[in-house]
Structure 1
Amino acid sequence: MYFAALLARTEDGWEASDTELDDVETLSDLTDLARENSVDDDTVLVFVEQEGAWFGIVRVEGEEDPRIYISDASAAARSSYGEILLTDELVGREPGSDDGTDLDTLDLDGTEDGEPAEVDTGAQDEDGIDALDPLPAGPLGDRTVLTDLGVSEADLRQMDSGDALGEIAELLGVAEVLEAVR
């Protein structure tokens, strides 16, 4: 089950709205959606969560490039919504490269459970990443995406994927606002 919400900072605090990602196909589409919900080019946070498997945060401020954090890149890679966040730049590959991380070749329909594949190749690199699955089974992206808002890198890394967005909202002081759209 997926949940997606936008949190837009305003003069009076944060406003939340749930959002459908059915019409969002790229990070650019998601960024445009966030900017449409921005008040005076202020901060907009996009929360995406696949219950129990992974969560992602996209931070959009004005015309700056979005900042992205994903709790488990390997699980997100098996999700159509995660695929939106796993850009070439984020995963460290050249656009159009054929390095085994071509997410377009996966059959994703948005109903994936995000469970790690039970494939043991025995071949891992120095970081313990499976040679056939080059995305880490762990965090990827900007780990300081929420630091200035009161959520440290350590806090973010310790989040339980089961209700990470609720925990983050609590640390941001906007739990009631987020719960109103759940």
Structure 2
Amino acid sequence: MYFTALLARTDDGWEASDTELDDVESLDELAELARASSPDDETVLVCIEQEGAWFGLVRVDGEDDPRVFVSDAARAMRSAYGEILLTDELLGREPDDQDVLDQLVDLDGTEDGIGDEDEGDDEPAGPDAVPRGPLGDADILADLGIEAGTVLKLAPDDALSEIADALGCADVLEAVR
């Protein structure tokens, strides 16, 4: 089960809205969706949580390139939403390497990202393997008072709630849950 929300910083504090990402196919489209939610080019955080498996954050500040953090890249790669966040640039590989992407996606139709590790499957090997664990910009929230070390230690089950609490908008986020 997924939870997705946009947190937009305004002059009056943070505003939250739940959002569907079913029609979003790329990080660029996700960034445009975030920008559309903040007419004043303020900071927008796209929050994605897959229950018990991983969470991801995308930060959009005006027209700047989006900044991305994913708590567990290997689990996120087996998710349709995770695939949006895990760009070739973030993974450090050439954009034309689509065969590797096809190999990493769970082809059995499940997107829960849970179970494969528990069944003793080996991690994908080689230079194009998606790492287990965090990937991206852990300093994504540093200027908002949440240091990289804190972001790296957040558990997927309550990460978004803890982030919202630290930002002072827990009630706003919970209202859209």
Do the two structures share a fold, i.e. TM-score over 0.5? Answer: yes
Output one character per residue of 1:108-163: Cα deviation in whole Å (capped at 9) or x when no partner.
Answer: 85x51111523444xxxxxxx64168111100000100000011111101111111
> Following TM superposition, by how much is the alpha carbon of 1:31 offset from its aligned partner in structure 2, in angstroms?
0.7
User: Which of the residues 145, 160, 166 maps onto 2:161?
Assistant: 166
Quick one: percent identity of the two aligned structures? 61
**Which of 44-53 and 93-102 deviates more?**
93-102
Output one character per residue of 1:21-75: Cα deviation in whole Å (capped at 9) or x when no partner.
Answer: 1111111111110000013101000000001000000000111100000000000
Structure 1: which 5+ residue stretches go unaligned?
122-128
How is 1:29-178 mapped onto 2 (pairs within 5 angstroms)? Answer: 29-97=29-97, 100-102=100-102, 106-107=106-107, 112-115=111-114, 117=116, 118-121=119-122, 130-131=124-125, 134-178=129-173
Question: Are the equivalent residues in 1 in contact too, given 2:71–2:134 (CA < 8 A)?
Answer: yes
TM-score w.r.t. structure 1 length?
0.88
Paired residue type of 2:112:
D
Structure 2: which 5+ residue stretches go unaligned?
none
RMSD in angstroms over aligned alpha carbons?
2.0
Question: Are the equivalent residues in 1 in contact too, given 2:54–2:71 (CA < 8 A)?
Answer: yes
- Give the whole-Å Cα distance in 1 for the aligned partners of 2:144 and 2:76: 25
Q: What secondary structure sits across from 1:60 in the alignment?
A: strand
- Give the whole-Å Cα distance in 2 for the aligned partners of 1:108 and 1:120: 15
Instruction: Give the 4+ runs in structure 1 shifted more than 6 A.
Output: none
Aligned residues: 174
Q: Which residue of 2 aligns with 1:3?
A: 3
- Give the whole-Å Cα distance in 1 for the aligned partners of 2:103 and 2:5: 24
TM-score w.r.t. structure 2 length?
0.90
